[in-house]
Amino acid sequence: MKRVVLAVLVLAMAVSMASAQTTQVLSRNAVGYTMFTVPPLGFNLVRLDFNGLGGSIVLSNAVGSQLPDLSQVIIWQPSLQTYKYLTKARGAWPEGTTVLTRGSAIFLKGASNAAMTNYQVFFMGEVPDRFTATNSTVTVFGSNAFSFVGYSYPVAIAFSNLAVGPSLSNLSQVALWDMNAQSYNIFSKGRGTWPPALASNIIQAGQGFWIRNVSNAVHWVEVKPYTWP
């Protein structure tokens, strides 16, 4: 699968001084971004890897002006098992205050353009750290429901190293989106194992996928894979 996502982590140091005291207060955080390619009239299934800087990350500030009018954000509603289509118009996103959460996947669809060139979209935020996300939990719905999800940290990882795989029962499915072919590659679990093509697949930073879980709901827990910040 062609790599379509790039992750860059930038470590920032911020130093502040209390005006009435001589005590120096140091704060440290890491700011990062993921970059996505979104084709005109085509889809990319992506996820958010970051926490908000001073607040929640919402649709209007995550995507904002990076895509033109008639582009779409398509959100899966797990409780209803249906999509919600949000189309940008007159420079604004409907339901722009919709919160985007780490570990959830959404589709981005680009509008047509005269040159039929791809769009570049960046998601930016604070890298999950030891104070905000030593562990992460993503709910994978059960009873044959579909969940649009992703790894909750901004790193690449083989599917076989994800904790969710062994938690899913036989006949459950995972689908990876092929942006070039504009179609899914669907894999089914059988006899307790996943097909080698999925097990060895590297899930890139910012890459979303869906899971159809045939058994009970799974609380997919991952431990932060890095030791900083």
What digits encode the pLDDT tens for the residues 96-111?
999 999 999 999 999 9
Tokens standing for 100? 């985007």
On average, the pLDDT of the chain sits at 89
Question: Strand 135-140 vs strand 218-223: parallel, antiparallel, or unpaired?
Answer: antiparallel
Amino acid at 204: Q
Which pLDDT value is given to residue 224?
95
Mean pLDDT, each 10-residue run in order, the chain (229 residues): 41 33 50 96 97 93 97 97 98 97 96 97 94 92 97 97 97 98 98 98 98 97 90
* Residue extents of the structural domains in the chain: 35-126, 135-223
Tokens standing for 67? 């895509």
Query: How many CB atoms are located within 10 Å of the residue 27 CB?
Result: 9
The whole model's pTM is what? 0.88
What digits encode the pLDDT tens for the residues 192-206?
999 999 999 999 999
